[in-house]
Amino acid sequence: MSDASQQPVDSVSLKFLVVSHDLQIIRTIQSTLEELGSETVAYADSSEAAACVWDRAFDGVFLDADMPHPNGFELAGCVRASSVNAKIPVVVFSEVADGETMRKSFRAGATFFLRKFRLQEQVKCLYNATRGATLEERRSHARWSLQAKVECKFGNRRFDSTSVNISEASILLEQSGGLRVGQEFELAFNLPGVPEQLKSRARVVRREPPDRIAAEFVSMSREAKSAIRSYVANAP
């Protein structure tokens, strides 16, 4: 989480990973996505692609199921296991479109399954769905500065912290109060222009020096969620 990560999400170009041993397939998907204004990174070597997904973030991936080891199903598993790409849309495509192939794709973590012979047409149809899912994910993690007192309670202990920034999904606090990653606690704070104090249960997901903690909201009222969404959407 960054104090300066304040940017509109709708205008950001999406970046897709395309993996196939068939260069014509790569060119077809690349040209289709680039016509739609997206960036693409392509690999014909599935081993190189497997190494890439662990530390390079993408907005979606297109994987050829019919590759030698690691095949598209195995690559989908790598994507889902990576910390940076675990939640992105995953498209698996294949020459074979029987029930077992599709079930295997979805078990591996695919979001969509495509048949190769209609690839260009289907990529265009799925782009909007993928873009919508990706932008919704980005919106939920869009961060805005928030300096506010945060009252925290952990078991019988209470302490005050100060927020650094906030998104719909989480909050960054200056003082940890001794909380460790994985621990849940209760917090309460005020947003500018919102008279009622917002309350939530949260879970520590990361520590940052010197004593900051990043906490994701675990349970929160609909009204509190709406207030945060409005604050993030309308922050200057």
* CATH code, domain carrying 176: 2.40.10.220
Q: Are residues 135 and 163 in the same domain?
A: no
**Residue 189 maps to a domain:** yes
Give the pLDDT of residue 228. 86
The answer as to whether 1 is a domain residue is: no
Domain presence at residue 6: no
Better pLDDT: 143 or 184: 184
Q: What percent of the chain has pLDDT over 70?
A: 86
| Least reliable range by pLDDT among 54-63, 111-120, 184-193 | 111-120
In a domain, 223, yes or no: yes
20 and 136 housed in the same domain = yes
Note whether 123 and 111 are within 8 A (CB): no
Q: Is the same domain home to 157 and 132?
A: no
Q: Is residue 195 part of a domain?
A: yes
Question: Tens of pLDDT along 191-216?
Answer: 987 888 999 999 999 998 899 999 99
Please report, as a single letter, which amino acid is at residue 152: C
Tell me the pairing of strands 184-189 and 170-173: unpaired
Task: Report the C-alpha gap between 204 and 222 in whole angstroms.
Answer: 21
- In a 10 Å sphere around its CB, with 0-12 CB exposed, 13-18 middle and 19+ buried, how is residue 174 labelled? middle
Our count of domains for the chain comes to 2
User: Is residue 8 one of the residues assigned to a domain?
Assistant: no
Residues 50 and 114 both lie in one domain: yes
Q: Which of 4-13, 26-35, 91-100, 209-218 has the lowest mean pLDDT?
A: 4-13
Q: End of a domain among 119, 141, 163?
A: 141
pLDDT band, very low/low/confident/very high, at 97 (cuts 50, 70, 90)? confident
Last residue of a domain, one of 141, 160, 182: 141
The Cβ-side half-sphere exposure at 181, using a 13 Å CA radius, reads 4
pLDDT tens-digit series, residues 100-157: 888 889 999 988 888 877 777 778 766 766 665 555 555 555 678 899 999 999 999 9
Torsion of CA 184, 143, 166, 16, to 10 degrees: -20
Asked if residue 109 and residue 163 are part of one domain, the reply reads: no
Confidence (pLDDT) at 50? 92
- Which of 99, 101, 23, 113 minimizes the C-alpha distance to 63? 113
Residue 188's nearest CA partner among 223, 227, 144, 149 is 149
Question: Does 228 or 43 have the greater pLDDT score?
Answer: 43
Residue 155 lies in a domain: yes
Residue 8 pLDDT: 42
Which of 141, 161, 193 finishes a domain? 141
Give the pLDDT of residue 123. 81
Instruction: Please give the residue range of the domain that contains residue 165.
Output: 144-234
Does pTM top 0.85 for this prediction?
A: no
